[in-house]
């Protein structure tokens, strides 16, 4: 099993450009999450999904959109990138509705917005 994979690994954008980050998991997990990691702030939840076709806002959703058209994929979109969105983005997944199940993380995408 590959676990959780993310593409791309690195990306540099100019302000105003758009892009999509792809997360894929092969563990048949129901729940998927997008986080951003910034120095001194830990991980903050951007959006999450509790199943195919569902999405919900997390702690810091502004400027991002997500889609979960297939159970194994969770896409994070930036419609008009801003320098404040420079960060490392992590995708994670977990089994359904058991609240103490751990989350499995992808390797991350390092995004720089100039």
Partner 1 sequence: AQSVAQPEDQVNVAEGNPLTVKCTYSVSGNPYLFWYVQYPNRGLQFLLKYITGDNLVKGSYGFEAEFNKSQTSFHLKKPSALVSDSALYFCAVRDTVLTGGGNKLTFGTGTQLKVEL
Please say which residue, 97 or 112, places its beta carbon nearer to partner 1: 97
Is residue 30 within 8 A of residue 37, CB to CB? The reply is: no
Please say which residue, 14 or 100, places its beta carbon nearer to partner 1: 100
Query: In angstroms, rounded to a whole number, what is the distance separating the alpha carbons of residues 52 and 32?
Result: 10
Please say which residue, 17 or 73, places its beta carbon nearer to partner 1: 73
Residue among 84, 107, 112, 114 that touches partner 1 (CB under 8 A): 107
Site string for partner 1, 29-68 (x = CB under 8 A): --x-x------xxxxxx--xxx-----x-x----------
Q: Which two tokens stand for residue 79?
A: 């419609």
Report the DSSP beta bridge partners of residue 65: 77
DSSP class per residue in 102-113: PPEE---EEEEE
């Amino acid at each position: 099993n590959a676990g959780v994979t993310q593409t791309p690994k690195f990306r540099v954008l100019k302000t105003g450009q758009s892009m999509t980050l792809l997360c894929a998991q092969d563990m048949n997990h129901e729940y998927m999450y997008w986080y951003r990691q910034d120095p001194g702030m830990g991980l903050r939840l951007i959006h999450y999904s509790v199943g195919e076709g569902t999405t919900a806002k997390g702690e810091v959703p502004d400027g991002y959109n997500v889609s979960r058209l297939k159970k194994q994929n969770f896409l994070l979109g930036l419609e008009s990138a801003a320098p404040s969105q420079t960060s490392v983005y992590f995708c994670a997944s977990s089994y359904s509705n058991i609240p103490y199940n751990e989350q499995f993380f992808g390797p991350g995408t390092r995004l720089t917005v100039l």
